Structure 1
Amino acid sequence: MSSAVSNAAATAEPLPRILVLGIGNILWADEGFGVRAVEAFHRQFELPEAVTLLDGGTQGLYLVNFVQEADRLIVFDAIDYGLEPGTLKVVEDDEVPKFTGAKKMSLHQTGFQEVLSAADLLGGYPEKLVLIGCQPVDLEDWGGPLTEPVRAAIEPALAEAIAVLERWGVAVEPRAAPLEPEQELLINDIGHAAYERRAAVATV
Protein backbone atom coordinates (compact mmCIF):
# COMPACT_ATOMS: atom_id res chain seq x y z
CA MET A 1 0.00 0.00 0.00
CA SER A 2 1.41 3.40 -0.94
CA SER A 3 2.04 5.91 1.83
CA ALA A 4 -0.54 8.26 0.28
CA VAL A 5 -3.25 5.60 0.46
CA SER A 6 -2.13 4.58 3.93
CA ASN A 7 -2.25 8.15 5.20
CA ALA A 8 -5.69 8.69 3.66
CA ALA A 9 -7.01 5.59 5.40
CA ALA A 10 -5.45 6.68 8.68
CA THR A 11 -6.99 10.14 8.52
CA ALA A 12 -10.47 9.06 7.35
CA GLU A 13 -13.07 10.11 9.86
CA PRO A 14 -14.96 7.25 11.52
CA LEU A 15 -18.66 7.02 10.81
CA PRO A 16 -20.97 8.51 13.43
CA ARG A 17 -22.91 6.03 15.55
CA ILE A 18 -26.32 5.82 13.91
CA LEU A 19 -29.49 4.26 15.28
CA VAL A 20 -32.33 3.37 12.89
CA LEU A 21 -35.34 2.82 15.12
CA GLY A 22 -38.84 1.55 14.41
CA ILE A 23 -41.48 2.29 17.04
CA GLY A 24 -45.11 1.31 17.31
CA ASN A 25 -47.42 -1.55 18.23
CA ILE A 26 -47.83 -4.29 15.61
CA LEU A 27 -51.03 -5.46 17.32
CA TRP A 28 -52.93 -2.32 16.29
CA ALA A 29 -52.91 -2.42 12.48
CA ASP A 30 -51.14 0.68 11.08
CA GLU A 31 -49.58 1.40 14.47
CA GLY A 32 -47.06 -1.26 13.43
CA PHE A 33 -45.68 0.77 10.51
CA GLY A 34 -42.44 1.78 12.22
CA VAL A 35 -41.61 -1.74 13.36
CA ARG A 36 -42.44 -3.23 9.95
CA ALA A 37 -40.31 -0.62 8.20
CA VAL A 38 -37.20 -1.33 10.26
CA GLU A 39 -37.86 -5.06 9.88
CA ALA A 40 -37.93 -4.67 6.08
CA PHE A 41 -34.76 -2.56 6.20
CA HIS A 42 -32.93 -5.34 8.02
CA ARG A 43 -34.25 -7.99 5.64
CA GLN A 44 -33.23 -6.15 2.45
CA PHE A 45 -30.02 -4.25 3.18
CA GLU A 46 -26.57 -4.62 4.69
CA LEU A 47 -25.18 -1.80 6.78
CA PRO A 48 -21.81 -1.02 8.37
CA GLU A 49 -21.20 -1.77 12.04
CA ALA A 50 -21.66 1.89 12.93
CA VAL A 51 -25.38 1.58 12.10
CA THR A 52 -27.73 -0.23 14.49
CA LEU A 53 -31.24 -1.30 13.49
CA LEU A 54 -33.65 -1.64 16.40
CA ASP A 55 -37.26 -2.70 16.85
CA GLY A 56 -38.22 -0.23 19.57
CA GLY A 57 -41.82 -1.42 19.74
CA THR A 58 -43.58 0.30 22.64
CA GLN A 59 -40.62 0.25 25.02
CA GLY A 60 -40.73 3.95 25.85
CA LEU A 61 -38.12 4.97 28.42
CA TYR A 62 -36.27 1.68 28.00
CA LEU A 63 -34.96 3.20 24.75
CA VAL A 64 -33.15 6.09 26.47
CA ASN A 65 -29.79 4.31 26.59
CA PHE A 66 -29.96 3.48 22.90
CA VAL A 67 -30.78 7.08 22.01
CA GLN A 68 -28.03 8.41 24.27
CA GLU A 69 -25.45 6.24 22.55
CA ALA A 70 -26.41 7.43 19.06
CA ASP A 71 -24.78 10.39 17.34
CA ARG A 72 -27.57 10.36 14.77
CA LEU A 73 -31.05 8.89 14.84
CA ILE A 74 -33.60 7.87 12.19
CA VAL A 75 -37.09 6.97 13.43
CA PHE A 76 -39.86 5.20 11.51
CA ASP A 77 -43.33 5.71 12.98
CA ALA A 78 -47.03 6.04 12.21
CA ILE A 79 -47.86 9.74 12.64
CA ASP A 80 -51.21 11.46 12.25
CA TYR A 81 -50.19 14.42 10.10
CA GLY A 82 -53.74 14.95 8.87
CA LEU A 83 -52.70 13.96 5.34
CA GLU A 84 -53.97 11.40 2.85
CA PRO A 85 -53.65 7.81 4.16
CA GLY A 86 -50.26 6.29 3.40
CA THR A 87 -48.58 9.67 2.83
CA LEU A 88 -45.00 9.94 4.06
CA LYS A 89 -43.68 13.08 5.71
CA VAL A 90 -40.06 13.53 6.76
CA VAL A 91 -39.13 16.01 9.48
CA GLU A 92 -35.74 16.69 11.00
CA ASP A 93 -33.99 17.84 14.14
CA ASP A 94 -35.96 20.34 16.28
CA GLU A 95 -39.20 19.63 14.39
CA VAL A 96 -39.29 15.95 15.37
CA PRO A 97 -40.60 16.22 18.97
CA LYS A 98 -43.47 18.41 17.76
CA PHE A 99 -44.82 15.61 15.61
CA THR A 100 -44.23 12.67 17.93
CA GLY A 101 -46.51 14.31 20.46
CA ALA A 102 -48.83 16.58 18.47
CA LYS A 103 -51.59 13.96 18.55
CA LYS A 104 -51.06 11.30 21.14
CA MET A 105 -52.41 8.37 19.17
CA SER A 106 -50.94 5.80 21.53
CA LEU A 107 -48.91 5.37 24.68
CA HIS A 108 -45.70 4.69 22.79
CA GLN A 109 -45.65 8.19 21.28
CA THR A 110 -45.88 9.88 24.64
CA GLY A 111 -43.14 7.52 25.79
CA PHE A 112 -40.89 8.44 22.88
CA GLN A 113 -41.26 12.13 23.59
CA GLU A 114 -40.09 11.33 27.09
CA VAL A 115 -37.18 9.35 25.66
CA LEU A 116 -35.99 12.37 23.71
CA SER A 117 -36.41 14.67 26.70
CA ALA A 118 -34.59 12.27 29.02
CA ALA A 119 -31.72 11.84 26.57
CA ASP A 120 -31.42 15.62 26.30
CA LEU A 121 -31.41 16.08 30.08
CA LEU A 122 -28.76 13.38 30.42
CA GLY A 123 -26.53 15.04 27.82
CA GLY A 124 -26.88 12.33 25.19
CA TYR A 125 -29.20 13.88 22.59
CA PRO A 126 -28.36 12.91 18.97
CA GLU A 127 -26.73 15.65 16.91
CA LYS A 128 -28.98 14.77 13.95
CA LEU A 129 -32.54 13.45 14.19
CA VAL A 130 -34.85 12.39 11.33
CA LEU A 131 -38.45 11.19 11.63
CA ILE A 132 -39.94 9.27 8.69
CA GLY A 133 -43.64 9.22 9.47
CA CYS A 134 -46.53 7.60 7.64
CA GLN A 135 -50.14 8.76 7.80
CA PRO A 136 -52.15 5.80 9.16
CA VAL A 137 -55.56 4.59 8.04
CA ASP A 138 -56.64 2.32 10.90
CA LEU A 139 -55.36 2.24 14.48
CA GLU A 140 -58.29 0.36 15.98
CA ASP A 141 -58.07 -3.06 14.29
CA TRP A 142 -56.74 -5.23 17.14
CA GLY A 143 -54.68 -8.04 15.64
CA GLY A 144 -55.18 -6.74 12.12
CA PRO A 145 -52.52 -6.25 9.44
CA LEU A 146 -51.25 -3.00 7.98
CA THR A 147 -53.73 -1.41 5.59
CA GLU A 148 -52.78 -1.34 1.91
CA PRO A 149 -51.82 2.38 1.76
CA VAL A 150 -49.51 2.01 4.76
CA ARG A 151 -48.00 -1.28 3.56
CA ALA A 152 -47.29 0.38 0.20
CA ALA A 153 -45.45 3.20 1.99
CA ILE A 154 -42.79 0.91 3.45
CA GLU A 155 -40.55 0.78 0.38
CA PRO A 156 -40.66 4.56 -0.19
CA ALA A 157 -39.90 5.00 3.52
CA LEU A 158 -36.82 2.81 3.17
CA ALA A 159 -35.72 4.89 0.19
CA GLU A 160 -36.04 8.03 2.33
CA ALA A 161 -33.90 6.45 5.04
CA ILE A 162 -31.27 5.34 2.54
CA ALA A 163 -31.08 8.88 1.15
CA VAL A 164 -30.50 10.23 4.67
CA LEU A 165 -27.82 7.63 5.41
CA GLU A 166 -26.03 8.36 2.14
CA ARG A 167 -26.14 12.05 2.96
CA TRP A 168 -24.41 11.13 6.22
CA GLY A 169 -21.72 9.20 4.33
CA VAL A 170 -23.07 5.70 4.96
CA ALA A 171 -23.01 3.12 2.15
CA VAL A 172 -26.16 0.99 2.01
CA GLU A 173 -25.93 -2.24 0.01
CA PRO A 174 -28.68 -4.73 -0.93
CA ARG A 175 -28.18 -8.12 0.65
CA ALA A 176 -26.52 -10.58 -1.72
CA ALA A 177 -28.59 -13.46 -0.35
CA PRO A 178 -31.88 -13.69 1.54
CA LEU A 179 -31.70 -13.99 5.31
CA GLU A 180 -32.44 -17.29 6.97
CA PRO A 181 -35.65 -17.15 9.07
CA GLU A 182 -33.68 -17.16 12.33
CA GLN A 183 -31.68 -14.12 11.14
CA GLU A 184 -34.73 -11.90 10.69
CA LEU A 185 -35.16 -8.93 13.01
CA LEU A 186 -38.51 -10.31 14.20
CA ILE A 187 -38.94 -14.07 14.16
CA ASN A 188 -41.61 -16.70 14.71
CA ASP A 189 -45.23 -15.50 14.70
CA ILE A 190 -44.47 -11.78 15.04
CA GLY A 191 -42.49 -11.53 11.80
CA HIS A 192 -44.42 -9.53 9.21
CA ALA A 193 -45.28 -12.31 6.77
CA ALA A 194 -46.22 -14.85 9.44
CA TYR A 195 -48.24 -12.31 11.43
CA GLU A 196 -50.28 -11.23 8.43
CA ARG A 197 -50.93 -14.83 7.40
CA ARG A 198 -52.39 -15.42 10.86
CA ALA A 199 -54.41 -12.21 10.66
CA ALA A 200 -55.84 -13.28 7.28
CA VAL A 201 -56.84 -16.69 8.66
CA ALA A 202 -58.46 -15.07 11.69
CA THR A 203 -60.72 -12.94 9.50
CA VAL A 204 -61.94 -15.86 7.36
Structure 2
Amino acid sequence: MTRITVLGVGNILWADEGFGVRAVELLHERHIFPEHVALVDGGTQGLALLPLVEDSDVLVILDAVDYVLPPGSLFMADDDDVPRCLTAKKISLHQTSMLDVLGLARLSGRLPAHIRLIGVQPCDLETYGASMSAPVRAQLDPALAEALAYLARFGVAAVPRPATRAPEPLGPLSVTLAPYEAARSS
Protein backbone atom coordinates (compact mmCIF):
# COMPACT_ATOMS: atom_id res chain seq x y z
CA MET A 1 0.00 0.00 0.00
CA THR A 2 1.19 3.53 -0.76
CA ARG A 3 2.49 5.27 2.36
CA ILE A 4 1.40 8.91 2.42
CA THR A 5 2.58 11.60 4.82
CA VAL A 6 1.09 15.08 5.20
CA LEU A 7 3.71 17.08 7.05
CA GLY A 8 3.22 20.52 8.57
CA VAL A 9 6.51 22.24 9.38
CA GLY A 10 7.42 25.52 11.00
CA ASN A 11 7.76 27.27 14.31
CA ILE A 12 4.43 28.36 15.85
CA LEU A 13 6.25 30.81 18.13
CA TRP A 14 7.20 33.10 15.21
CA ALA A 15 3.85 34.25 13.78
CA ASP A 16 3.47 33.16 10.14
CA GLU A 17 6.29 30.62 10.44
CA GLY A 18 3.70 28.36 12.12
CA PHE A 19 1.46 28.15 9.02
CA GLY A 20 2.39 24.56 8.13
CA VAL A 21 1.79 23.25 11.63
CA ARG A 22 -1.53 25.08 11.90
CA ALA A 23 -2.63 23.78 8.49
CA VAL A 24 -1.95 20.12 9.33
CA GLU A 25 -3.67 20.58 12.71
CA LEU A 26 -6.82 21.85 10.96
CA LEU A 27 -6.71 19.07 8.37
CA HIS A 28 -6.55 16.54 11.23
CA GLU A 29 -9.30 18.31 13.16
CA ARG A 30 -11.67 18.42 10.19
CA HIS A 31 -11.07 15.08 8.43
CA ILE A 32 -10.53 11.39 9.02
CA PHE A 33 -8.00 9.69 6.75
CA PRO A 34 -7.29 6.05 5.88
CA GLU A 35 -4.65 4.30 8.00
CA HIS A 36 -1.95 4.58 5.32
CA VAL A 37 -2.11 8.40 5.51
CA ALA A 38 -0.17 9.98 8.37
CA LEU A 39 -0.74 13.59 9.40
CA VAL A 40 2.32 14.90 11.22
CA ASP A 41 3.12 18.07 13.14
CA GLY A 42 6.77 18.25 12.15
CA GLY A 43 7.31 21.58 13.87
CA THR A 44 11.04 22.27 13.91
CA GLN A 45 12.16 18.66 14.29
CA GLY A 46 14.66 18.87 11.44
CA LEU A 47 16.66 15.68 10.96
CA ALA A 48 14.32 13.73 13.23
CA LEU A 49 11.90 13.84 10.27
CA LEU A 50 14.28 11.96 7.96
CA PRO A 51 12.98 8.42 8.71
CA LEU A 52 9.41 9.64 8.22
CA VAL A 53 10.29 11.20 4.86
CA GLU A 54 12.28 8.15 3.74
CA ASP A 55 9.39 5.82 4.61
CA SER A 56 6.88 7.81 2.54
CA ASP A 57 5.88 7.15 -1.05
CA VAL A 58 3.94 10.43 -1.22
CA LEU A 59 4.88 13.49 0.83
CA VAL A 60 2.80 16.65 1.16
CA ILE A 61 4.62 19.51 2.90
CA LEU A 62 2.73 22.51 4.29
CA ASP A 63 5.01 25.44 5.15
CA ALA A 64 5.61 29.18 5.11
CA VAL A 65 8.21 29.90 2.42
CA ASP A 66 9.68 33.24 1.38
CA TYR A 67 9.37 33.39 -2.39
CA VAL A 68 9.23 37.20 -2.37
CA LEU A 69 5.60 37.11 -3.49
CA PRO A 70 2.81 39.35 -2.21
CA PRO A 71 2.16 38.55 1.47
CA GLY A 72 -0.32 35.73 1.92
CA SER A 73 0.16 34.30 -1.58
CA LEU A 74 -0.42 30.55 -1.79
CA PHE A 75 1.64 28.49 -4.22
CA MET A 76 2.38 24.87 -5.00
CA ALA A 77 5.47 23.06 -6.23
CA ASP A 78 5.87 19.40 -7.16
CA ASP A 79 8.66 16.87 -7.08
CA ASP A 80 11.88 18.35 -8.53
CA ASP A 81 10.33 21.83 -8.48
CA VAL A 82 10.06 21.80 -4.70
CA PRO A 83 12.26 24.77 -3.92
CA ARG A 84 15.70 24.65 -2.36
CA CYS A 85 14.64 26.70 0.64
CA LEU A 86 11.58 25.37 2.42
CA THR A 87 11.77 27.27 5.68
CA ALA A 88 11.05 30.96 5.72
CA LYS A 89 13.23 31.67 8.73
CA LYS A 90 15.96 29.76 10.52
CA ILE A 91 15.92 30.60 14.20
CA SER A 92 19.44 29.30 14.83
CA LEU A 93 22.39 27.84 12.97
CA HIS A 94 21.53 24.48 14.52
CA GLN A 95 18.07 24.30 12.96
CA THR A 96 17.93 21.92 10.03
CA SER A 97 15.69 22.82 7.12
CA MET A 98 13.43 20.56 5.09
CA LEU A 99 15.89 21.09 2.26
CA ASP A 100 18.51 19.25 4.31
CA VAL A 101 16.08 16.45 5.13
CA LEU A 102 15.05 16.02 1.48
CA GLY A 103 18.68 16.18 0.37
CA LEU A 104 19.64 13.38 2.75
CA ALA A 105 16.67 11.29 1.63
CA ARG A 106 17.79 11.78 -1.98
CA LEU A 107 21.36 10.73 -1.09
CA SER A 108 20.08 7.55 0.56
CA GLY A 109 17.96 6.77 -2.51
CA ARG A 110 14.80 6.97 -0.40
CA LEU A 111 13.24 10.25 -1.51
CA PRO A 112 9.45 9.92 -1.84
CA ALA A 113 8.30 9.27 -5.41
CA HIS A 114 5.84 12.16 -5.20
CA ILE A 115 6.33 15.41 -3.29
CA ARG A 116 3.97 18.38 -3.14
CA LEU A 117 4.83 21.61 -1.36
CA ILE A 118 1.89 23.81 -0.42
CA GLY A 119 3.46 27.06 0.66
CA VAL A 120 2.34 30.48 1.74
CA GLN A 121 4.26 33.74 1.54
CA PRO A 122 4.64 34.96 5.12
CA CYS A 123 3.94 38.52 6.25
CA ASP A 124 5.37 38.44 9.78
CA LEU A 125 8.29 36.31 10.90
CA GLU A 126 9.61 38.71 13.51
CA THR A 127 6.93 38.78 16.22
CA TYR A 128 7.74 36.20 18.85
CA GLY A 129 4.64 34.65 20.42
CA ALA A 130 2.29 36.05 17.79
CA SER A 131 -0.21 34.01 15.85
CA MET A 132 -0.52 34.11 12.08
CA SER A 133 -1.19 37.36 10.29
CA ALA A 134 -4.62 37.79 8.68
CA PRO A 135 -3.38 37.30 5.06
CA VAL A 136 -1.63 34.06 5.98
CA ARG A 137 -4.51 32.80 8.12
CA ALA A 138 -6.84 33.43 5.16
CA GLN A 139 -4.86 30.84 3.17
CA LEU A 140 -5.51 27.96 5.59
CA ASP A 141 -8.74 26.79 3.95
CA PRO A 142 -7.36 27.12 0.38
CA ALA A 143 -4.24 25.19 1.47
CA LEU A 144 -6.38 22.41 2.93
CA ALA A 145 -8.41 22.25 -0.29
CA GLU A 146 -5.17 21.93 -2.27
CA ALA A 147 -3.92 19.16 0.02
CA LEU A 148 -7.19 17.22 -0.28
CA ALA A 149 -7.22 17.60 -4.07
CA TYR A 150 -3.62 16.37 -4.31
CA LEU A 151 -4.33 13.39 -2.05
CA ALA A 152 -7.35 12.51 -4.20
CA ARG A 153 -4.92 11.88 -7.09
CA PHE A 154 -3.68 8.92 -5.05
CA GLY A 155 -7.14 7.61 -4.25
CA VAL A 156 -7.29 9.15 -0.78
CA ALA A 157 -10.80 10.17 0.19
CA ALA A 158 -10.81 12.06 3.46
CA VAL A 159 -14.06 11.85 5.37
CA PRO A 160 -15.33 14.94 7.18
CA ARG A 161 -14.85 14.39 10.90
CA PRO A 162 -18.17 14.30 12.80
CA ALA A 163 -18.41 16.90 15.57
CA THR A 164 -19.00 14.02 18.00
CA ARG A 165 -15.64 12.42 17.16
CA ALA A 166 -12.97 14.81 18.41
CA PRO A 167 -9.45 13.85 17.31
CA GLU A 168 -6.48 13.28 19.53
CA PRO A 169 -4.24 16.35 19.06
CA LEU A 170 -1.14 15.91 16.89
CA GLY A 171 0.96 17.63 19.54
CA PRO A 172 0.53 19.08 23.01
CA LEU A 173 -3.00 20.39 23.44
CA SER A 174 -1.75 23.58 25.08
CA VAL A 175 -0.09 24.77 21.85
CA THR A 176 -2.85 23.91 19.40
CA LEU A 177 -4.26 27.04 17.80
CA ALA A 178 -7.25 27.87 20.04
CA PRO A 179 -5.53 27.37 23.44
CA TYR A 180 -2.36 29.09 22.17
CA GLU A 181 -4.27 32.17 21.06
CA ALA A 182 -6.41 32.18 24.21
CA ALA A 183 -3.27 32.18 26.38
CA ARG A 184 -1.79 35.03 24.35
CA SER A 185 -4.87 37.21 24.77
CA SER A 186 -5.19 36.73 28.53
Whether 2:102 is the aligned partner of 1:96: answer no
Alignment correspondent of 1:6: none
Q: For residues 114 and 65 of structure 1, what CA distance do their matches in structure 2 show?
A: 13
Alignment correspondent of 1:40: 26
Q: For residues 76 and 61 of structure 1, what CA distance do their matches in structure 2 show?
A: 17
Alignment correspondent of 1:73: 59
Alignment correspondent of 2:179: 194
Consecutive aligned runs of 4 or more in structure 1 exceeding 4 Å deviation: 107-110
Aligned AA for 1:162?
L
2:3 is aligned, of 17, 24, 34, to 17
Structure 2: runs of 5+ lacking an equivalent:
none
Determine helix, strand or coil for the equivalent of 1:144.
coil
1:105 is aligned, of 89, 106, 111, to 89
- The Cα offsets for residues 23-44 of structure 1, whole Å up to 9 and x where unpaired, read as 0000000000000000000000
Aligned AA for 2:111?
Y
Q: For residues 64 and 99 of structure 1, what CA distance do their matches in structure 2 show?
A: 16
Query: Within 5 A, what are the aligned runs for 1:136-155?
Result: 136-155=122-141
How far off is 1:98 after superposition? 2.6
Bigger radius of gyration: 1
- The Cα offsets for residues 110-168 of structure 1, whole Å up to 9 and x where unpaired, read as 52111001111112100000000001110011011111111111111000000000011
- The Cα offsets for residues 167-197 of structure 1, whole Å up to 9 and x where unpaired, read as 111111111235447x122333201101011
Distance 1:199 1:117, change over 3 A: same
8 A Cα contact 1:80 1:135, kept in partner: yes
Distance 1:177 1:93, change over 3 A: same
Instruction: Tell me how large the CA RMSD over aligned residues is.
Output: 1.7
8 A Cα contact 1:145 1:196, kept in partner: yes
Q: For residues 52 and 64 of structure 1, what CA distance do their matches in structure 2 show?
A: 15
Alignment correspondent of 1:184: 169
Determine helix, strand or coil for the equivalent of 2:42.
strand
Aligned AA for 1:105?
K
Determine helix, strand or coil for the equivalent of 2:11.
coil
Determine helix, strand or coil for the equivalent of 1:73.
strand
TM-score, structure 1 as length reference: 0.85
8 A Cα contact 1:77 1:131, kept in partner: yes
8 A Cα contact 1:43 1:178, kept in partner: no
Q: Comparing both structures, which one devotes a greater share of its residues to helix?
A: 1
Alignment correspondent of 2:41: 55
Alignment correspondent of 1:7: none
How far off is 1:107 after superposition? 4.9
8 A Cα contact 2:85 2:99, kept in partner: no
TM-score, structure 2 as length reference: 0.92
